[in-house]
Every structure is written in C-alpha cells, then in structure tokens.
C-alpha cells in the first residue's frame, strides 16, 4: 500500500539493524550508495542478490541517491545514506543539503522525456515513501521496501 506522496513521518519502529554513511555528491557516490544498500540488505536478511527485494532496494537507492546528487547537492557537501532493517521492511533514507521538497511525480510523462520518472518508480515499488525536513538546511527522502519475496 502506498501512502500519499511525501507524507511526513518520524522514523517508525525500532530497527533490527541500522547503518548511516556519508557519500560524495557525485555519480560515483550514488553508485557506491546503491551497492552498499544491496550488500547490507543481503547481509542483514539473508535474501539473495537476485531476490525481488534486493532488486527493489537497488532501484530505489539509485533513484534517491541520484536525485540527491543531481538536485539536492551544494558544492562541497555530501549526502547521507541511512539504512534500517525493520520487522517487515527495509527503510532507505537519503539526506541531502537542499531543504526544498522534491516535486510530486507527474504521470503520465511525455514519451520524449528522457528523465523524470524516478519518483514514479519509487512510489510503485515501495510500501511507503515520503520526505521530511527537520531543519532549514537538509531534507530526507525515505522509502520502505517490503521484505516479502515472490521468488522461490
């Protein structure tokens, strides 16, 4: 079930595991964040790399991290990735240095547009997602990937 776009929420439930790291606001930083997220998911849950949740974590982390690099960075400022293993979900949080909220996903996208579909994918593949801003300097875009798998 997807919550309304950009619902504010405090961090839910107590995580089984959590990890927070900073990455450079570059394409390389976004790629490393994606790789780390999948690695942590598989390590914490025992799910294989080719499971549906692992693929979804890769897609969602790639989108949130690339948005932080492309739209949310200021020169010389990193973005922060926080991963939380919750009872039924894997929560991905990306905090960047621009407090402006992302624009709502627009559907349908014009066929000739080469970008702008990322948050639509995040909305489609996650149970819930949103954006929080706890200060005037940063924002955190978060998404929760269900841990149930349909593959055997």
Q: For residue 141, list its beta bridge partners.
A: 94, 131
Look at 104 and 88; give whichever has higher pLDDT.
88
Q: What is the pTM (predicted TM-score) of this model?
A: 0.79
Domain chopping of the chain, boundaries: 17-146
* pLDDT of 15: 76
DSSP code at position 50:
T
* pLDDT of 3: 43
* pLDDT-derived band at 59, boundaries 50, 70, 90: very high
For the domain spanning 17-146, the CATH number is 3.30.565.10
- Residues 129/142, Cβ–Cβ less than 8 Å: yes
- Please write the tens of the pLDDT for every residue from 99-149: 666 655 555 555 555 455 678 889 899 999 998 987 888 899 999 999 985
Cα distances (angstroms) measured from residue 43 to each of 35, 90, 112: 12, 12, 40
Given a cut of 50, is residue 38 above it in pLDDT?
Answer: yes
**What's the chain's average pLDDT?**
82
């Amino acid at each position: 079930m997807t919550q309304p776009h950009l619902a504010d929420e405090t961090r839910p439930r107590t995580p089984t595991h959590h990890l927070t790291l900073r990455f450079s606001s570059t394409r390389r930083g976004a790629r490393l964040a994606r790789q780390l997220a999948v690695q942590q998911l598989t390590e914490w849950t025992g799910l294989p790399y080719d499971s549906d949740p692992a693929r979804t974590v890769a897609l969602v982390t790639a989108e949130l991290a690339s948005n932080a690099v492309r739209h949310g960075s200021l020169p010389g400022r990193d973005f922060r990735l926080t991963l939380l293993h919750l009872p039924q979900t894997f929560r991905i949080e990306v905090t960047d240095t621009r407090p402006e909220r992302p624009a709502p996903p627009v559907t349908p996208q014009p066929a000739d547009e080469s970008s702008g579909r990322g948050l639509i994918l995040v909305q489609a593949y996650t149970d819930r997602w949103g954006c929080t801003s706890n200060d005037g300097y940063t924002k955190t875009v978060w998404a929760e990937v269900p841990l149930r798998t349909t593959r055997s």
